[in-house]
Structure 1
Amino acid sequence: MGTLDSKVAIVTGAGRGIGRAIAEKFAHEGANVVVADLDADASAEVAKHLGGGALGIGTDVTSRESVEAMVTRVRDAVGQIDVLVNNAGWDKAGPFVDSDPTDWDRIVRVNLYGVLHTSKAVLPTFINQGFGSVVNIASDAGRVGSSGEAVYSATKGGVIAFTKTIAREVARHGVRANAVCPGPTDTALFEEFAGPKLRESLARAIPFRRIGTPGDVAGAVAFLASDEAAYITGQTLSVSGGLTMS
C-alpha cells in the first residue's frame, strides 16, 4: 500500500516539470491525481500516462472562475478532495530596474493569486470534512532572495507567509498546510534563464554538487501530503541539497 492510497489530490501546474513529477509520485503512492494545468493537452497527456483514476483538467489558476469550475468538476466526478498541491508558477528573470510591470502582473497573478484562488475554492471542503492537506510550492528565493528574480521572490515569500497563516486558521478543523521551497531544480523554467556557466556555478555551490531534480521535490511533497505528516503544519521545508540551511 502507498502512503496516499485512495486520496484524491489536485496538483496545479502538473503538465510538466516539478508538477508532473509530483503527480507521478502521488500516483505511485496510490492517489487519484487531478492534473490541473493551463495547457489542457498536457493535462490530458499526463493523466493518460498516470492511468488509474487520474483526471486531466485544463485550468487557469489566475482565473477564479476557471479554478472554481475545476474544483466543481472534481467534486462531481469523484466526490472528494483530500490534498491540494499549489505548484503552478511562472517567472521572467532579469534585473528589477529593467523589468516590465506587465511581467510583474503575470508573476503575481500566477504565483500568488493562483494560490489564493485554489485555496479559497478547496479549503471550505477540507474544513467541512474535518481533514485535508495543502502543500504550497514556494521557493528558497522567497526565503533568502534571488538575484534577477525580485518579483518572483516577493510572490514566493508571500506564499510562505500565506501558508503559515492558513495553517493557524484551519488547524482546529484538522486541516494542515505546509510549504516546500525548492532550490535550483532542473526544469524547463530553470533552463530558460540559467546558461551553462550559471548552472555550473550553482552546482559547485550546492553541498551535494548537483542541481536538484523534480523527483527530489516530489518526495518531500508526498510526505507532507500524507498521513505520515499528520502532526506537521505551518512548516517551510527547503529542498536545496544544502544550498540554504535554517
Structure 2
Amino acid sequence: MQLLDDHVVLILGGGSGLGLGVARHCLGEGAHVAIMEVSADKLVDLKAEFGEEVLLVHGDVTSIEDLEATRTAVLDRWGRLDALIGAQGIFDGNIPLKDVPLDRIESLFDEVFHIDVLGYILAARVFVGDLEQSHGAIVLTSSTAAYAADGGGLFYTAAKGAVRSIVNQLAFEFAPRVRVNGVAPSGIANSQLRGPAALGLEGNKQSDIPKEAFLEQFLSLTLMPTLPTPEEYGPLFAYLASRHNTTMTGQTIVADQGLFNRAVISNGTVDRVGQ
C-alpha cells in the first residue's frame, strides 16, 4: 500500500520548483493530484508531463474567484478533497532593508505578503469545509528563514514567519477534524522562486545565484553534504498530508540538513564532503 492511496491532493503553486517536486512525489505515492498554477507557460509544461493524469487549473492564489473555481473543478472530478498543500511563493531578492527604496517598501510588502501569506489564508478558508468532511490535512510551506536570520531579506523572512504562525493558529481553530502542519525547507536545488516585481526582479529566480558559490557556502554550514532537490522534500509533505499522520498537528518540520546544529568553533573547517 502506498502512502497516499485513495487521497485527493491539491497543490497550490505546483508548476515548478518545490511544488512540482512535491506533486511528482504525491503521484508516486498513489494520490489523485490537482495543481493550481498561475503561469500559463508552466501549465503547458505540466500538461506535456502528466497528460490527463493530473487535474490542472489556471489560477491565482490571491484570487477568491480562482480558488473557488479550483474547488469546483476538484469536486467535479473526485467529489472530495483530502489534502491541501501550499507551495506557492516569491522571494524578496535578499536585499537589506536599507537598500530598498523608501517608496518601494509598501508595494514590496504587499506583493510578498499577498502571495506568501494571504494566498494560504484564503485557500484555507475556501477549502476548510471540504477538508472537515474528509478529516483531511493542510500542509503549508514555511522556511528556515522563519527561524534564523539571513535566509532571505526582511520581507521574505517576515512572511515565512507568518506562515509558521498560521500553521499554529489554524491547527487550533480547525481541530480536531483538520490537521494543519508545515514544512520549513532550507536550501532547494534549482529553486524557482521568482523575485518581486516591486523591485523589478520578477525575471530573476533564486536559482540564478551562482551555483558553485552558493553550494560551497551552503555545505560549509550544514551537516549533510548535499543540496536537496524538490523531490527530496516530497516525503515530508506526503506524510503530513496523509491519513497515516495521526499524531501531528500545529507543527512545522524544520528540514535544515543540520543547519541549526552546526559547529561554530571549527569555523566550518571540517571536511564533510563524502561522509
Same fold (TM over 0.5): yes
Among 136, 150, 153, the residue aligned to 1:149: 153
SS at match of 2:187: coil
User: What is aligned with 1:210?
Assistant: 226
Check if 1:219 corresponds to 2:224. no
- Cα deviation code 1:90-127 (max 9, x no counterpart): 01221122223222221111000110111111012122
Among 169, 180, 183, the residue aligned to 1:180: 183
CA contact (8 A) 1:40 1:57 kept: no
Q: Calculate percent identity across the aligned residue pairs.
A: 28
SS at match of 1:36: strand
CA contact (8 A) 2:135 2:178 kept: yes
Among 135, 138, 161, the residue aligned to 1:134: 138
Which residue identity lines up with residue 146 of structure 1 in the other structure? Answer: D
TM-superposed CA distance for 1:70, in Å, is 1.1
- Equivalents in 2 of 1:203, 1:211: separation in Å? 8
Aligned residues between the structures? 244
- Equivalents in 2 of 1:242, 1:35: separation in Å? 31
SS at match of 1:144: coil
- Equivalents in 1 of 2:140, 2:157: separation in Å? 14
Query: Does the C-alpha gap of structure 1 residues 40 and 11 become closer, same or farther in structure 2, counting only changes over 3 Å?
Result: same
User: What is aligned with 2:45?
Assistant: 45
User: What is aligned with 1:109?
Assistant: 114
Larger Rg: 2
Check if 1:88 corresponds to 2:93. no
Could you say which structure has the greater relative contact order, defined with CA pairs below 8 angstroms and 6 or more residues apart? Answer: 2
- Equivalents in 1 of 2:185, 2:128: separation in Å? 24
- Equivalents in 2 of 1:210, 1:203: separation in Å? 7
Which residue identity lines up with residue 235 of structure 1 in the other structure? Answer: Q
Q: How high is the TM-score relative to the length of structure 1?
A: 0.92
- Equivalents in 1 of 2:163, 2:65: separation in Å? 21
- Cα deviation code 1:135-188 (max 9, x no counterpart): 00110101223254211111111111111111111112x210001000011113
CA-atom RMSD in angstroms: 1.9
- Cα deviation code 1:33-68 (max 9, x no counterpart): 001111134235325523564101111012122112
CA contact (8 A) 1:104 1:151 kept: yes
CA contact (8 A) 1:47 1:55 kept: no
TM-superposed CA distance for 1:84, in Å, is 0.2
- Equivalents in 2 of 1:50, 1:226: separation in Å? 22
- Equivalents in 2 of 1:156, 1:148: separation in Å? 10
